[in-house]
């Protein structure tokens, strides 16, 4: 009888192949860190794997968590852990072999196939919290809002408040509801999650998106300030929640407060984490569109992207766009064009979904930002208008992709395309009628 038959279970009753008891304890710690962003699950499991090198779930977890960073630099480490898990297949259970396959599919660019494989795991093991969160994040990176909601909904019959981690599953469900524009449901589920676990930055983040999309910025600011001790200290996701708070300040035309958050919380020191760098780039671009001088900050964030371009250009179009934003903002069109060339190459050569992302959205958005930097505003409109409603295909949230609409509005105002500007501002008034930023756009159109 091989080791695969000596099965143990995690805290939710999901089978784990034979391992040392302390390895399973470390797995639970890592899973909580993965849910909450308090601590680094890969660091937690690094020592575990030294002591228990045949701990299959440890290798799968490290590889999968690193995949969610959406950076090419981690691929050698990811590949090593996937190959180790594959070599241990005879000692793994069926669930672990499927999880290993999903990680390999994601690594090779077949993000859609990986999502389906995680779904297959969840059919048999609806309480597999790791598979659920991996699928949830992949739906987000692919801009698949329906699966972002429905993947969680499909397994909810297997969950209730007696199951460890239930509150975090509700947080995921709340974000899925929000991205499907079901704001009342999203708010209710997020609040339920937070009643169970105050320190859930993802549920707080889902609630922040509801306030953002409904233009309830005063409530959003109050929520963040009142709960700051729950989501901010020592949290790996805090920079993004600070970013949401900065967006509220921009909507209130409190640009100084947004810049203060940028300097002190969003990018207080140099970082090589793309997820953090793209938030920084996006915030500066929004301020730049409003005529706020952020020149000294542009050079720093552009330098951070430049350090990564040789490795990362063309890997994930959503990241590439934000690299172009920083490089254009810093006045370096040559470097921005080099990123664009990598995106064009990705549209020809990348495997799987990442090729589609570059082809359908990445090229047009990167060209548009470069055109904006050259004051070719009519060309910006030609690039962005046809793909604005398709932009979800390269990932991100509604709030993140609003940067494209704001760039369109600003371009229409600057090249006197008043009909387009009127239409876009009218659309914005429907969703955010009372914010000073909406009125700012309308006043400029009227003048």
What mean pLDDT do residues 2-19 have?
79
What mean pLDDT do residues 286-293 have?
96
What mean pLDDT do residues 262-289 have?
98
Mind spelling out the 3-state secondary structure of the chain? CCHHHCCEECCCCCEECCCCHHHHHHHHHHHHHHHHCCCCHHHHHHHHHHHCCCCHHHHHHHHHHHHCCCCHHHHHHHHHHHHHHHHCHHHCCHHHHHHHHHHHHHHCCCHHHHHHHHHHHHHHCCCCHHHHHHHHHHHHHCCCHHHHHHHHHHHHHHCCCCCCCHHHHHHHHHHHHHHCCCHHHHHHHHHHHHHHCCCCHHHHHHHHHHHHHCCCHHHHHHHHHHCHHHHCCCCCCHHHHHHHHHHHHHHCCCHHHHHHHHHHHHCCCCCCCHHHHHHHHHHHHHHHHCCCCCHHHHHHHHHHHHHHHHHHCCCCHHHHHHHHHHHHHCCCHHHHHHHHHHHHHHHHHCCHHHHHHHHHHHHHHHHHHHHHHCCCHHHHHHHHHHHHHHHHHHCCCHHHHHHHHHHHHHHHHHCCCHHHHHHHHHHHHHHCCCCHHHHHHHHHHHC
Model pLDDT, residue 107: 97
Model pLDDT, residue 3: 39
Model pLDDT, residue 5: 41
Confidence check: pLDDT of 2 > 50: no
Confidence check: pLDDT of 181 > 50: yes
Q: How confident is the model at residue 304 (pLDDT cuts 50, 70, 90)?
A: very high
Model pLDDT, residue 295: 83
Model pLDDT, residue 305: 98
What mean pLDDT do residues 135-140 have?
98
Lowest mean pLDDT among 58-72, 268-282, 430-444: 430-444
What mean pLDDT do residues 113-129 have?
98
Q: How confident is the model at residue 434 (pLDDT cuts 50, 70, 90)?
A: confident
Per CATH, which fold does 1-142 belong to?
1.25.40
Model pLDDT, residue 433: 86
Query: Over the stretch 368-423, which tens digit does the pLDDT of each residue have?
Result: 999 999 999 999 999 999 999 999 999 999 999 999 999 999 999 999 999 999 99
Model pLDDT, residue 124: 97
Write down the pTM of the prediction.
0.96
Q: How confident is the model at residue 229 (pLDDT cuts 50, 70, 90)?
A: very high
Model pLDDT, residue 1: 31
Better-predicted residue by pLDDT, 2 or 197: 197
- Domain extents in the chain: 1-142, 270-447
Model pLDDT, residue 6: 57
Mean pLDDT of all residues in the chain? Answer: 96
What mean pLDDT do residues 206-222 have?
96
Lowest mean pLDDT among 18-22, 30-34, 157-161: 18-22
């Amino acid at each position: 009888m091989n080791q695969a038959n000596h099965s143990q279970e995690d805290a939710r009753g999901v089978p784990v192949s034979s391992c040392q008891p302390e390895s399973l304890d470390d797995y639970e710690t890592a899973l909580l860190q993965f849910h909450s962003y308090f601590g680094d699950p890969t660091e937690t499991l690094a020592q575990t794997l030294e002591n228990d090198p045949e701990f299959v779930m440890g290798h799968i977890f490290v590889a999968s968590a690193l995949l969610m960073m959406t950076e090419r630099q981690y691929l050698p480490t990811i590949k090593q852990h996937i190959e180790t898990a594959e070599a241990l297949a005879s000692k793994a259970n069926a669930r672990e072999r499927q999880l290993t396959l999903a990680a390999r599919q994601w690594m090779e660019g077949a993000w859609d196939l990986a999502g389906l494989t995680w779904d297959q795991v969840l059919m048999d093991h609806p309480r597999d919290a790791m598979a659920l969160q991996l699928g949830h994040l992949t739906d987000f990176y692919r801009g698949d809002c329906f699966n972002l909601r429905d993947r969680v909904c499909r397994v909810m019959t297997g969950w209730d408040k007696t199951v460890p981690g239930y509150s975090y599953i509700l947080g995921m469900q709340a974000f899925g509801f929000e991205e499907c524009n079901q704001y009342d449901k999203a708010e209710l589920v997020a609040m339920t999650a937070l009643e169970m676990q105050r320190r859930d930055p993802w549920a707080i983040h889902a609630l922040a998106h509801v306030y953002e999309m409904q233009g309830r910025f005063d409530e959003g600011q109050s929520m963040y300030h009142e709960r700051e001790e729950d989501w901010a200290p020592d949290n790996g996701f805090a920079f993004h929640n600070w970013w949401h708070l900065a967006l509220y300040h921009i909507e209130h035309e409190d640009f100084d407060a947004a810049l203060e958050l940028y300097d002190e919380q969003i990018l207080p020191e140099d970082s090589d984490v793309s997820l953090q760098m793209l938030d920084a780039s996006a915030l500066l671009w929004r301020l730049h569109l409003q005529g706020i001088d952020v020149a000294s900050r542009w050079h720093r964030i552009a330098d951070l992207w430049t350090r990564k371009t040789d490795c990362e250009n063309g890997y994930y179009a959503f990241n590439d766009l934000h690299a172009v934003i920083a490089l254009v903002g810093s006045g370096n069109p040559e470097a921005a064009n080099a990123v664009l060339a990598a995106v064009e190459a990705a549209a020809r050569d990348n495997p799987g979904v990442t090729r589609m992302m570059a082809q359908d959205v990445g090229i047009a958005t990167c060209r548009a930002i470069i055109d904006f930097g050259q004051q070719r505003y009519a060309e910006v409109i030609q690039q962005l208008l046809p793909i604005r409603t398709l932009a979800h295909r390269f990932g991100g949230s509604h709030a993140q992709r609003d940067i494209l609409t704001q760039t369109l509005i600003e371009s229409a105002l600057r090249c006197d395309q008043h009909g387009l500007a009127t239409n876009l501002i009218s659309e914005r008034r429907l969703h955010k009628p009372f914010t000073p930023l909406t009125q700012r756009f309308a006043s400029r159109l009227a003048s």
